[in-house]
Amino acid sequence: MRRLCSHLLLTPWGLEPRRVVRVSEEGRVVAVEEVPDGAALDSLPGVEFFPGILMPAMLNAHCHLELSGLRGTIPAGCGFEGFVEAMKAAPREGGEAVAKAWDAKMWAEGVGRVWDVCNGTSTFATKVASRIEYHNFIEFFGIGRQPDMSFHTTPHSLYAVDPAAFTRLAEAARGPLSVHFMESAFEVADPAARLVAQTPPEREMILVHNCLVTQRDIDIVMGHFTGPVTWVVCPRSNRHISGLQPPLDLLRRNRLTIRVGTDSLASNDTLSLVDELRLLDAPLAEMLGWVAADRIAPGRTPGIVNLTGVDLRTLTLTENARTKRII
Ligand SMILES: [Zn+2]
């Protein structure tokens, strides 16, 4: 049994001060206890103290681990069309060792789950051996070998898949679709109308990027789907490629389900979710809720992560903010 304490604990109700989490050998949360007034947090007997915040392990809601070998090869500011051209020309071989190293880094930083997009099999061995729980979105059928892991097939986007094929994929899907959506103006006309025309309403949707989404698009999408819709933002990737940013306030005002992804290392130089959050402007407890994969509550095994480099007075992330897995 370990007893862990920090300045603040991310609970399902927000950031709470003066809490000790008791965790079993198997990583199960046994109890969350209040620290009596007056007791110094960093010298409680039998309790390990971590400055900053304790939170659950995190979800990276959009990644392409197989592109990790492309880190640093596509210059910033190339624009969306330039990025697409560079990706077509980029080598796809030999990235296995790099992907394995980034998988290990994500685990150490406290990522517990990844919604990862794949077009090939190069990362499967890494993922099968990884302690991170990967959910794979396979963008094409003709992949040859199915992974011995959780996966679904998905169309990449409305612009990369022709309408008939998109509709077939959307209708045949047995799980959520993860679709690159409204990342740039270089896409189809009226993507929201196209999406709802081509996708059954009961389908669970993960919409990725959303930079150009307006209230009208949100109304069209939310008016159509009866299954859950998750709106994923990848601000560092957008900054690298186009300089656009997702309309975070609009998404928040509509009380949409927001998640955060790093996208691939072809358009990012880290797979750190805290680095993504530093570009977003919203209350810290809310943002941490977007990246928490589970919740710290008795009976659950959420993993425990220490976030340091937080200005505890203003509850903002400093330049030095980083996460480290404790459990
Ligand atoms: Zn992507």
Tens of pLDDT, residue by residue over 157-174, are: 999 889 999 999 999 998
Cα–Cα dist 106/108, whole Å: 5
H or E stretch covering 249: helix 248-253
Indicate the residue type of 293: A
Residue 79, pLDDT score: 92
Task: Look at 27-31, 169-173, 256-260, 269-273 and tell me which has the smallest mean pLDDT.
Answer: 169-173
β strands within 18-124, DSSP E:
19-23, 29-34, 48-56, 58-63, 111-118
Band of pLDDT at residue 276, cut at 50, 70 and 90:
very high
**φ and ψ of 57, to 5 deg:** -60, 160
CA 23 to ligand 1 centroid distance, Å: 36
Cβ(27)–Cβ(327) under 8 Å? Answer: yes
Indicate the pairing of strand 19-23 with strand 2-11.
antiparallel
Residue 211, pLDDT score: 98
CA 96 to ligand 1 centroid distance, Å: 19
CA 243 to ligand 1 centroid distance, Å: 16
Cβ(134)–Cβ(149) under 8 Å? Answer: yes
Write the pLDDT tens digit of every residue in 179-229.
999 999 988 999 999 999 999 999 999 999 999 999 999 999 999 999 999
The single-letter DSSP state of residue 65 is G
H/E/C letters for each residue in 170-234? HHHCCCCEEEEECCCCCCCCCHHHHHHHHCCCCCCEEEEECCCCCHHHHHHHHHHCCCCEEEEEC
CA 246 to ligand 1 centroid distance, Å: 14
CA 298 to ligand 1 centroid distance, Å: 35
Residue 291, pLDDT score: 98
CA 244 to ligand 1 centroid distance, Å: 15
Residue 260, pLDDT score: 98
Residue 95, pLDDT score: 80
CA 315 to ligand 1 centroid distance, Å: 30
Is the model's pLDDT at 72 over the cut of 70?
yes
CA 195 to ligand 1 centroid distance, Å: 17
Residue 26, pLDDT score: 96
| % of the chain beyond a pLDDT of 70 | 97
- Residue 206: CA count within 13 A, CB half-sphere: 25
CA 180 to ligand 1 centroid distance, Å: 6
Cα–Cα dist 195/182, whole Å: 11
Residue 142, pLDDT score: 44
CA 267 to ligand 1 centroid distance, Å: 9
Is the model's pLDDT at 11 over the cut of 90?
yes
Is the model's pLDDT at 143 over the cut of 70?
no
Cα–Cα dist 23/3, whole Å: 6
Residue 51, pLDDT score: 98
CA 208 to ligand 1 centroid distance, Å: 7
**φ and ψ of 173, to 5 deg:** -60, 140
- pLDDT averaged over the chain? 94
CA 324 to ligand 1 centroid distance, Å: 25
Cα–Cα dist 16/237, whole Å: 32
Task: Look at 41-50, 62-71, 119-128 and tell me which has the smallest mean pLDDT.
Answer: 119-128
CA 234 to ligand 1 centroid distance, Å: 9
CA 317 to ligand 1 centroid distance, Å: 25
Cβ(10)–Cβ(43) under 8 Å? Answer: no
Cα–Cα dist 93/69, whole Å: 8
Supply 89's token pair: 């020309």
CA 182 to ligand 1 centroid distance, Å: 12
Indicate the pairing of strand 48-56 with strand 304-311.
antiparallel
Indicate the residue type of 28: R
CA 62 to ligand 1 centroid distance, Å: 6
Residue 34, pLDDT score: 96
Is the model's pLDDT at 141 over the cut of 60?
no
Question: What's the average model confidence in pLDDT over 248-274?
Answer: 98
Is the model's pLDDT at 147 over the cut of 70?
no
Indicate the residue type of 204: E
Question: What's the average model confidence in pLDDT over 112-129?
Answer: 93
Band of pLDDT at residue 230, cut at 50, 70 and 90:
very high
Give first-to-last CA distance, the chain, whole Å.
Answer: 12
CA 6 to ligand 1 centroid distance, Å: 35
CA 137 to ligand 1 centroid distance, Å: 11
Band of pLDDT at residue 146, cut at 50, 70 and 90:
low
Write the pLDDT tens digit of every residue in 17-36.
999 999 999 999 999 999 99
CA 9 to ligand 1 centroid distance, Å: 32
CA 64 to ligand 1 centroid distance, Å: 6
Domains detected in the chain: 2-56+295-325 (2.30.40.10), 58-291 (3.20.20.140)
Band of pLDDT at residue 152, cut at 50, 70 and 90:
confident
Question: What's the average model confidence in pLDDT over 254-277?
Answer: 98
Nearest CA-CA partner of 66 in 89, 96, 88 = 96
